[in-house]
Structure 1
Amino acid sequence: MNIKDIARLAGVGLGTVSRVINNHPDVKDETREKVQKIIKENNYIPNNSARNLKKLSSNTIGVLIRGVFNPFFSEMVDIIGKRISQNGYTMLLRHTDYSARGADEIRNLIEFQKEVKLQGIIYLGCDLKEIDNTTFENIEVPLVLASTNSTYNTEVNNFSYVGIKQIESAFIATKYLIERNHKNIGIILGIKEDIGLASERLQGYKEALIKSNIDIKEEFIEYGGYSTRGAYDAAQRLIAKNKNLDSIFCISDIMAVGATKALEDMGIKVGKDISIIGFDGMEISEFYNPSITTIAQPREEMAEHSIAVLLDIIKNKGENRHIVLDTKLIERNSVKK
């Protein structure tokens, strides 16, 4: 599908299609809507490579990050960027927002690939739930999904991924609370639309409760939007609805900090009156007061594996790989002894 095909299907000239694509004002609304409808239906993405090739050399590696202000990826990007530079390549960094999912995520990858001449792409935080052999059929460069939000089918070999066992790790976090005699365990997830990370960590939480014969209560589930402010509000909502809540599992350390602050502001002592456990193993969880018990992800390892796999494929020294790394429970002061 190219611009000539779009013009033919719309019954207009190439110039009209070009003006629609470039958002020029001198196009009738009816014509603009018709052309845009055909573009959307055919999943056509304008190829801007020609004009960008003058700006970017062909040794560019793209890094796409899900979450515009996601601090979890900062250390990973630093490591990946250094390795890219050391190997004589240039890094191009782009962000998407949390609302991108499914077809939108694929479209973002295709658009990223077409805008510049990339040698390969690392996508941090992909939230695709199911992947088959057709998912990345339009991605023409090596692709590594790093810190993925799901564990993918290893039989699909047209991409690489580096991640953790999301369900198992969330199970360990919840089981840790249960083993310390907590029965009324709340959970603060990210956003309701998540199909990967949130759903898998929620599944691990539920499986731990079921295995311990503890009822799953929908009123124990809240959403914090992956932010400290969002989790602050979510924790207050949880307490308002559930006076008997004895612990909260936050699926990110950023949200664990927000929840801890909310409870402390309400006069509830974290680590004494109630317990909180986070997820990620970020530095802020160690230095917050009280320090927060967390499930630590191996960010450095994920970054090193991601760029190593991609460079091997680019240099024809390796093939796609699916790597699953272990997490680690770090005990601190936010869980009652």
Structure 2
Amino acid sequence: MSNANIKDIAEIAGVAISTVSRVINNHPDVSEETRKKVMEIIEETNYIPNNSARNLKRSNSKDIGVLVKGIYNPFFAKIIQSIEEKVAAHGYTMILHYNNDNVNDIEAAIEFVKEKKLKGLICLGGNFSNLNESHFEDLETPLVLASTDLEEERKKAFFSSVSIENEKAAYEAVNYLCKLGHRKIGIITIGEEDQCVGNLRLKGYKRALECNHISFDESSKEIGEYTFESGFDALNRLLNRVQDLTAVFVTSDIMAIGAAKAILNRGLRIPDDLSVMGFDGIDYAKFFHPSLTTVNQPGEYMGKRSADILFDIIKKKKEHQHVILKTELLESESCKKLI
């Protein structure tokens, strides 16, 4: 296997990519048995680490990486554009990489940094709940998480972030539906691959129900992914199971548009038969008919702040920062007040 890469080595050895990286870079926190096994596989496959892994202290790199979770969420488009503009203004080059949904986000980030010798990395979306100190030693480069969230404060000393108050924003969206008179409100949210943001928005949904004296019903929850098709399928499953819903909160606009299409395909009307609340504020939400009521995230500004923070760290101006941006509920045509 002359073209083996670090991922191949990890798969053959049955260990994480980060473990292979630690072996290559002689980190002490690897068992002797694992170290020997990995080194034997490296020799057998004739694996040559990029530019010799021992020279991975990349002082001359002018490349900034942007790692995007999935390829279907148009919310990231404006963020990426604003990051690229900032990166170019600093005389650097942006390298964009889309992570497959089946690949661990932390390991994908480490491999991306190593292979491209990145000077800094911005991650859009993804699940980084299992980040620990050894991962940051492997990365050896400044990291900014944008449009994702970690609930554990102790980990925030190792990276920067630009995010929103996901739980609060979801609470306000569902509370808005409650104030319109809705009491049977379903939710379509994200599953295992987005535990951070998905869990926080689910918490906000539950808290809004509780504050309005509405009991949470597990049967009113469905799981989707960031695609039109997933929202379409999830809404159909939800309505097959629960027939008396009057509204549904969907935790991304792209899923909400798919869900709305499923509603219309059943001969139902929006919002007369079922109100739909989205989340993100993408352009599609405005031009879909009926236009979606949604929670607007400041995507363009999120991208600019992420890049600014990254370059502050690269140029040793500041330590890690954690910025919380405000959201706005955009009222439109997809939600109806009940009499």
Same fold (TM over 0.5): yes
Gaps of 5+ in 1: 23-45
The letter of the residue matching 1:66 is K
Q: CA separation in 2, counterparts of 1:127 and 1:135?
A: 14
What do the CA deviations read for 1:150-185 (whole angstroms, capped 9, x no partner)? 455277322100001111111111101000010000
Of the three residues 36, 52, 68, the one matched with 1:9 is: 36
Gaps of 5+ in 2: 1-22, 27-31
For 1:195-210, what aligned pairs fall within 5 Å after superposition?
195-210=195-210
Contact 2:123-2:145 within 8 A present in 1 as well: yes
SS of 1:88's equivalent in the other structure is: coil
Is the deviation greater in 106-115 or in 202-211? 106-115
The letter of the residue matching 1:9 is K
Shift of 1:69: 2.5
Contact 1:293-1:334 within 8 A present in 2 as well: yes
Q: CA separation in 1, counterparts of 2:230 and 2:210?
A: 28
Q: CA separation in 1, counterparts of 2:25 and 2:43?
A: 8
SS of 1:78's equivalent in the other structure is: helix
For the structure 1 residues 118 and 193, does the alpha-carbon distance in structure 2 shift closer, same or farther, using more than 3 Å as the test?
closer
For 1:77-92, what aligned pairs fall within 5 Å after superposition?
77-92=80-95
Residue 94 (str. 1) matches residue 121 (str. 2)? no
Equivalent residue, structure 1, for 2:168: 168
SS of 2:136's equivalent in the other structure is: coil
Shift of 1:107: 1.8
Contact 2:127-2:193 within 8 A present in 1 as well: no
Contact 2:72-2:227 within 8 A present in 1 as well: no
SS of 1:128's equivalent in the other structure is: coil
Q: CA separation in 2, counterparts of 1:221 and 1:179?
A: 20
Contact 2:126-2:194 within 8 A present in 1 as well: no
The letter of the residue matching 1:93 is L
Q: CA separation in 1, counterparts of 2:37 and 2:101?
A: 33
Equivalent residue, structure 2, for 1:256: 256
What do the CA deviations read for 1:126-166 (whole angstroms, capped 9, x no partner)? 32236555552332111111111445527732210000111
What do the CA deviations read for 1:71-124 (whole angstroms, capped 9, x no partner)? 211111111111111211011111112344xxx322222211211221111111
Structure 2 length as normaliser, TM-score?
0.83
Of the three residues 37, 54, 63, the one matched with 1:60 is: 63
Equivalent residue, structure 2, for 1:75: 78
Q: CA separation in 2, counterparts of 1:50 and 1:91?
A: 23
For the structure 1 residues 112 and 49, does the alpha-carbon distance in structure 2 shift closer, same or farther, using more than 3 Å as the test?
farther
Aligned length: 307
SS of 1:115's equivalent in the other structure is: helix
Shift of 1:193: 4.3
Is the deviation greater in 159-168 or in 189-198? 189-198
Equivalent residue, structure 2, for 1:48: 50
Q: CA separation in 1, counterparts of 2:155 and 2:195?
A: 21
Equivalent residue, structure 1, for 2:14: none
Q: CA separation in 2, counterparts of 1:140 and 1:289?
A: 47
What do the CA deviations read for 1:5-58 (whole angstroms, capped 9, x no partner)? 889724986xx6244365xxxxxxxxxxxxxxxxxxxxxxx73244999xxx72
Is the deviation greater in 262-271 or in 281-290? 262-271
Equivalent residue, structure 2, for 1:41: none
Contact 1:126-1:145 within 8 A present in 2 as well: no
What do the CA deviations read for 1:233-259 (whole angstroms, capped 9, x no partner)? 211221121111100000000011111
Equivalent residue, structure 2, for 1:212: 212
Give RMSD over aligned pairs: 2.6
Of the three residues 12, 15, 20, the one matched with 2:45 is: 20
Contact 2:73-2:254 within 8 A present in 1 as well: no
Q: CA separation in 1, counterparts of 2:89 and 2:270?
A: 45
For the structure 1 residues 198 and 155, does the alpha-carbon distance in structure 2 shift closer, same or farther, using more than 3 Å as the test?
closer
For 1:1-337, what aligned pairs fall within 5 Å after superposition?
1-2=23-24, 9-10=36-37, 17-20=42-45, 22=47, 47-50=49-52, 58-100=61-103, 104-129=104-129, 133=133, 135-151=135-151, 153=153, 156-337=156-337
Shift of 1:321: 0.4
Contact 2:66-2:97 within 8 A present in 1 as well: yes
Q: CA separation in 2, counterparts of 1:309 and 1:161?
A: 9
Contact 1:151-1:165 within 8 A present in 2 as well: no
Contact 1:63-1:92 within 8 A present in 2 as well: yes
SS of 1:65's equivalent in the other structure is: strand
Q: CA separation in 2, counterparts of 1:7 and 1:171?
A: 47
Shift of 1:271: 1.4
State the identity %. 38
